[in-house]
Chains A and B, each alone.
Chain A
Amino acid sequence: MNLMPSDRPVVGEQSTDAEVFLAIQAQQVSALDLLYERYGRLVYSTALRILKTVEEAEEVTQETFLRLWQRSDIYQPSKGSLSGFLIMLTRSRSIDRMRSRQASHRRLQRIQTAAACVLNYNPPLEFATVEERSTVVREALKQLLPAEKQLLESAYYEGLSQSEIAKRDGIPLGTVKSRSRQALKKLRAALKHHL
């Protein structure tokens, strides 16, 4: 996109994620810089939690931001928040790498949504800072039992299927499924004013 300088969106600390994304579409490096300042630590921390090595976490962080920079069309604002998209991409790529290190990889990842028809999805948290979101999420997670939180974390960070969690923890598969679903329903209920 060849925008004249005067037509280029200008971004700053007060810009919304939507405005930053428009500037990234216009190939403004300053917008990518700002996006990294906002979500670099979150993206890197997520990759590090899954991959557990600094080198790979850095590679995934770089891939995530450059992917959006080079192919901004892969993100569609109508389908969700930019931060959520970055985390989804980070998780997807991290789990791909983790699984490629493992001997068996049988399960398809099912991270992205089938809810393509949801338009104008702008959760209130979209306008909160990372620190404010962290506070909200930590408060919400207090509504869960430690075992429930552990189940969600196993599914999220370790990319384990329910049957793999059941086998690892020695819990019947039906119990793992019902507890995990219950845990996610509780988390969503605790976050209902923010989604």
Chain B
Amino acid sequence: MTRPTNDANPTDLIAGYVLGDLSREEAVHLRQMLVEDPARAKELKSFEEAFSLLPYDLPMVEPSARLKAKILSAAIASAPEPAAAPQPSNVVSIAPRRQRHWKRWIPAISTSIAAITVAALGLNQMQLSQQSQQTVALQQQLEATNTELTRLRDELQANQSTVAQLSDPDTQVQILVGSVPNPTNSPFPTARLLAKPGDPEVTLVAHDLPKLSEKQIYRLWSVADTTAPPMYCGQFRQDDSGTAQWLVPDAICTKQPLKVIITLDAPDDPTTSAGPLVMQSTT
């Protein structure tokens, strides 16, 4: 493990951060440097931009034409219904000119009545098709709204339970802060752990904690003192609202530990040692 020193080269640490090779201590050291010297943030950004330019060296491969069509049609299907355009105020002055224009072509049209009929049928079909697309879009919006309502109901139910815990005077709250930023939207995750001494049920409410794959699980560990190894206090996956509830395996987990930490592990990892640190309590 690389350990930081007081004279660690900031540029080295920034390069290491972008490459993802910082030790926990180095990451803490870098965060401290960024707080103390905001100008370093610009340097970090330029390192990230340099690293992110690597794909421009790749031989460019042309995706299939149907991929673009697929993306655009999916975008159209998911686009909100456009607002109806108001009738332009100058429509009256344009209309007579159009009528005169049509009149000039009436003889030609009258000799092509069959073609017009076919065109009219085609237009009807197109209008029907447009109406059908609008109906499908409305149905999709309705389904999306129903799904959102269900999600909000679930969230409300979960929050009611959390509020009930918070209103209990014996409930203790631990604030946790992430060690690495969320790769999707960049802020460092934060969380509150609600636990009541003697009660095996704990609740974690997290923000910006990355979603897990099937092969991953978050684990909570309790640290009794600086010399003791972390003690396993259960594992969890957060729901869509960032909340998780589970029962700790040992009552000692909720007896005011010195610190609690959250690690990223595989579900079948042994519970005798902790995986990479994700969050830790601030006290």
**Are A45 and B80 in contact, with the CB atoms below 8 A?**
no
Interface residue range, chain B: 35 or more
B164 interface residue (CB < 8 Å to A): no
Chain A contacts for B265, CB-based, 8 A: 106
Of B34-42, B230-238, B247-255, the stretch lying at the interface with chain A is B34-42
With contacts A41-B63, A92-B183, A96-B213 known, is A118 near B75, CB below 8 A? no
Q: How far is the CA of A74 from the CA of B60 in the complex (A)?
A: 26
CB under 8 Å from chain A, chain B span 234-283 = 264-266, 275-276, 278
Contacts known (A100-B214, A156-B51); A32 close to B61, Cβ less than 8 A:
no
Interface residues of A in 53-79 (CB under 8 A from B): 57-58, 61-62, 65-66, 69-70, 74, 79
A5 to B188 alpha-carbon distance, docked (Å): 40
Query: B44 at interface (Cβ–Cβ under 8 A)?
Result: yes
Bound Cα distance A79, B181 (Å): 14
Q: Which residues of A contact B47 (CB under 8 A)?
A: 184, 188
Q: Give the shortest distance, in Å, between B63 (CB) and chain A (any CB).
A: 4
Contact at A118–B216, with CB atoms within 8 Å? no
Given A105-B216, A195-B49, A113 contacting B44 (CB threshold 8 A): yes
Q: Do A112 and B20 touch across chains, with their CB atoms under 8 A apart?
A: no
Within 8 A of B (CB), among A172-192: 174, 177, 180-181, 184-185, 187-188, 191-192
Determine which of A3, A44, A130, A188 lies in contact with B56 in the assembled complex, contact meaning CB atoms within 8 Å.
Answer: A130
A4-B83, A117-B41 given as contacts; is B20 within 8 A of A74 (CB)? Answer: no
What is the CB-to-nearest-CB distance from B20 to chain A, in angstroms, rounded to a whole number? 4
* Nearest-Cβ distance from residue A56 to partner chain B, whole angstroms: 12
**Known: A65-B71, A69-B78, A114-B44. Is A105-B20 also a contact (CB below 8 A)?**
no
Chain B residues within 8 Å of A80, by CB: 45, 48-49
Q: Is the CB of A66 within 8 A of B75?
A: yes
Tell me whether B276 and A29 are in contact (CB under 8 A).
no
A168 on interface, CB distance cutoff 8 Å: no
**B185 CB–A CB distance under 8 Å:** yes
- Does A48 interact with chain B (Cβ within 8 Å)? yes
Name A121-162 residues within 8 Å CB distance of B.
121, 123, 125, 130, 133-134, 136-138, 140-141, 152-153, 155-157, 161-162
| CB contact under 8 A between A45 and B60, given known A137-B54, A180-B21 | yes
Nearest opposing residue in chain B for A84, CB measure? B52
Q: Which residue of A lies closest to B84 (CB)?
A: A2
How far is A111 from B71 in the complex, measured between Cα atoms in Å?
25
Given contacts A36-B68, A70-B78, A114-B181, contact A133 B53 (CB under 8 A): yes
- Residue B110 interfacial (CB < 8 Å): no
Using CB atoms, name the residue of chain B closest to A62: B71
CB distance from B11 to the nearest CB of A (A): 7
A33–B79 CA distance with the chains assembled, in angstroms = 14
Residues in chain A within 8 A of chain B (CB atoms): 2-5, 27, 29, 32-33, 36, 40-42, 44-46, 48-49, 57-58, 61-62, 65-66, 69-70, 74, 79-81, 84, 87-88, 91-92, 96, 99-100, 102-118, 121, 123, 125, 130, 133-134, 136-138, 140-141, 152-153, 155-157, 161-162, 174, 177, 180-181, 184-185, 187-188, 191-192, 195
18 A-B contacts (beta carbon < 8 Å): A2-B80, A2-B83, A29-B72, A44-B61, A45-B58, A45-B61, A70-B78, A74-B184, A92-B184, A96-B213, A100-B215, A108-B180, A118-B42, A121-B45, A138-B56, A138-B57, A180-B21, A184-B51
